[in-house]
Amino acid sequence: MRPTPTIASVTAPRSGNQLFACKSIDKLIAEAEDPGHRLKKTLGPWSLTALGIGAIIGSGIFILTGTAAAGESFQAPSILHAQVLDIVVNLLRGGGTAGVLMHGRPPAGPSIAISFLLVALACSFAGLCYAELASMIPIAGSAYTYSYATLGEIFAWIIGWDLILEYVVSNVVVAIGFGAYTKSQLESFGVHLSDRWSTPVWETGHWTGAYFNVPAFLIVFVLTVLLVRGVKESAEANNVMVAIKIGAILTFLVVGGTLVHPPNWRPFAPSGFGGIVTGGAIVFFTYIGFDSVSTAAEEAKNPQRDLPVGIIGSLIVCTILYVGVSIVLLGMMNYKTFVSGPAAEAPVAYALKHLGASRLAQSVIIIGALMGMISSLLVYQYGQARIWYAMSRDGLFPRMFSAVHRRFKTPHISTWIAGFAVGFPAGFFAISDAADLSNIGTLFAFVLVSLGVIVLRRRQPERVRAFRVPFVPWFPLISVILCGGLMTGLTVITWIRFVVWLGLGLSIYIFYSRHRSEFARHPKHAP
């Protein structure tokens, strides 16, 4: 039987302050092997890669490609909805903020394919950092666990609280979108759902008269039941959905390829390199999701080998598909077509319908979009429960969150709570610009993970790394700079909401979590 490690052997002293106390990697691995908290190891490299693809490819590939190619121009209603970067630039140039409310992004045109490649390159720096830490610390919790092992308890709490926001908000938005998309598609087949049971109850500051958004809640409930039943079953369902949506994309490439009109590719870059860069800013968030692979670390059969494969493999597959869709779509119709109206809202479906593609091909795309949303929901709900599970095991959350089902070997209580935390808001509310909260949370996590690689290389250079980021510290620093820069492209109101959320989290940490963490229970061993 494996001996229980002593507290002295499993902490990593740093200073006299509990806030900066780090858990050693050996301690984290030992806790994961505890029979009372052990998760079932069932995931291989394909399932992990499919998890990444499931999270990355949602409905965005069928929507944002046309928007980024055509560009956009709009006026923000107030300075709170202006981008932070615009405010800084205007202050530096003219000493005021008179021009920050008008926004314009030049069209990328067919060169949006280059935008996808550049964004993939930018994401790969963060992806490499995740791959190294995941291979070293094969523990559920993703960026939360990595921060606890490298930067300290307070940073771990901040990023764990941040990840809760990311997963909850993003899944509420996707669930609402799934409900709306399902309603519209059913209506096209003559099936009409009552607005009182299929639309938000509260929207833009007023009651809508609806009772509950049943489709949005129901999809979250069904996926929660699946996740409680077992990770193997969930992964198999995700594999099927990923295969369906990849099949839908390949169908579009084949059918759309026959409808390409080469003159539509000219001019290839109507706005030059500037259009390519701004197009990349629009499509960047279609890549978010590869980090969710790392939340499956404790359920991977060979995490040291397979986690890097899943993270990097999902990025490569998605990049190929994104580039292929953009080249075909912009060859089918001129980029100016997608400026507004139905062409902007659903460019892929619009192009197929407008150019006379078969009803079968159009139906396949609709099914692919639905599978994209469902698989994203599944993976993020899976990851969310593992974050709560890891924080509970460390004492920062109530112990019930780390309870493991005797039969299914899943964190069932965390999974159910995560399901209701997403399902009920999805049934009541409509969320618009609040969705940016998931983006800022993800980028913040990328920054801390990248810094964690640098810290561990300096503190534990001798530790075995199954995967190593090349050119440390330069590659992680590039990741920090790129992610920090993208955060400045978000709005003032998003930053305010983010700070308020972190403030609420710090209050919980000060009055509850820090008194129940391992370092509080064993103060003589605290760093």
Domain limits, the chain:
7-71+106-525, 72-105
* Percentage helix, strand, coil for the chain under 3-state DSSP, each rounded to 5: 70, 5, 25
Rounded to whole angstroms, how far apart are CA atoms 9 and 246?
47
* List of residues 6+ apart from 397 with CB closer than 8 A: 388, 391, 513
How many C-beta atoms surround the C-beta of residue 484 within 10 A? 14
Q: Quote the pLDDT of residue 317.
A: 94
Domain 7-71+106-525 has CATH 1.20.1740.10: yes
Structure tokens at 331: 């060859």
- Six-digit token pair at 410? 């899943």
What stretches of 429-473 show up as alpha helix (H) in DSSP? 436-459
What is the per-residue pLDDT for 438? 79
Q: Which residues pair with 202 in a beta bridge?
A: 207, 429
Which amino acid would we find at residue 344? A
Least Cα distance to 261 among 210, 206, 331, 326 occurs for: 331
In this structure, are residues 520 and 159 in contact, taking their beta carbons and an 8 Å threshold? Answer: no
Altogether, the residues listed in the chain come to a count of 527
Residue 209 CB neighbours (<10 A): 9
CA–CA–CA angle 274, 275, 280 (5° rounding): 100
Radius of gyration of the chain from its Cα atoms, rounded to whole angstroms: 23
The pLDDT value recorded for residue 95 is: 66
Instruction: Per residue of the chain (527 residues), give pLDDT as tens.
Output: 333 444 333 444 444 578 888 888 888 888 777 766 678 888 999 999 999 999 888 767 877 788 889 887 666 667 777 777 777 777 777 766 666 666 666 888 999 999 999 889 888 999 999 999 988 888 888 889 999 988 899 999 999 999 898 888 888 888 888 888 888 778 777 888 898 998 888 876 788 888 999 999 999 999 999 999 988 888 899 999 999 999 999 999 999 999 999 999 999 999 888 788 878 877 877 888 888 898 888 889 898 889 999 999 999 999 999 999 999 999 999 999 998 877 887 788 889 989 988 888 888 888 888 888 899 999 989 999 999 999 998 899 999 999 999 888 899 999 999 999 999 999 988 765 556 677 788 889 899 999 999 999 998 898 888 899 999 999 999 999 988 888 887 778 889 999 999 999 999 999 999 998 878 866 554 44
The pTM for the full model equals 0.84
Spatial CA neighbour of 415 closest among 441, 442, 377, 389: 389
- Return the pLDDT at 367: 87
Sign of the CA dihedral with 437 first, then 62, 325, and 219 last? positive
Phi and psi dihedrals of 145, rounded to 5? -65, -40
Helices 143-150 + 359-393 axis angle, to 10: 30
What is the model's pLDDT at position 432?
59
Place of tokens 């924080």: 391
- Cis preceding-peptide flag for 527 (omega within 30 of 0): no
Give counts: helices (H), strands (E), the chain: 20, 6
The CA distance from 266 to 247, in Å, is 29
28-66 core/surface letters (b: 16 or more CB in 10 A; e: else): bbbbbeeeebebebbbbbebbbbbbbbbbbbbbbbbbbb
Burial of 359 from C-beta contacts in 10 A (0-12 / 13-18 / 19+): exposed
Q: How far apart are CA 187 and CA 292, in angstroms?
A: 34
Structure tokens at 176: 């609402």
CA distance 241 to 368: 8
